[in-house]
Amino acid sequence: MKPLVMMTLALFFIPTNFAGASTASERLVSILISNQTPTYTLSPLIEVFGADAVPFKKKSDTVFVHQFKVSQDDWFNKVNVKVVWKDAYLDTDKKKSDLEQWIILRVRRDFPDKFSILVYFGNNRSRDELTRLEGLSGVNEQFQVYFRAGQIVQFFRQSLGPQDALTKRAAKLWFWSAVKLAEEPKYFVIMSDEAERVAIEAYGGSSGLAERANAARSMYWYDLDEIDNYLARGDCATAKLILMEFKKLMDNAPNIFKIRYGKTPDVLQMKEQRIVQKCKS
pLDDT tens across 98-146, in order?
Answer: 999 887 777 777 667 888 899 999 999 999 999 999 999 998 899 999 9
pLDDT score at 159: 97
pLDDT tens across 150-178, in order?
Answer: 999 999 999 999 999 999 999 999 999 99
pLDDT band at 210 (very low <50, low <70, confident <90, very high): very high
Alpha carbons 99 and 43: distance in angstroms, whole number? 10
Q: Are residues 236 and 124 in the same domain?
A: no
| Three-state SS at 100 | strand
pLDDT tens across 87-100, in order?
Answer: 999 999 999 999 99
| Three-state SS at 208 | coil
Alpha carbons 167 and 113: distance in angstroms, whole number? 38
Predicted TM-score (pTM) of the model is: 0.86
| Residue 230: inside a domain | yes
| Three-state SS at 156 | helix
Kindly list the distances between the CA atom of residue 109 and the CA atoms of 12, 189, 230, 237, in Å, as whole numbers in the listed order. Answer: 7, 15, 13, 15
Q: Are residues 195 and 225 in the same domain?
A: no
Exposure string (b/e) for 207-231, b if CB count within 10 Å is 16 or more? Answer: eebeebbbbbbbbbbebbebbeebb
Count of domains in the chain? 2
pLDDT tens across 55-97, in order?
Answer: 999 999 999 999 988 876 667 777 888 999 999 999 999 999 9
Residue span of the structural domain in which 114 resides: 4-207
Q: Are residues 40 and 100 in the same domain?
A: yes
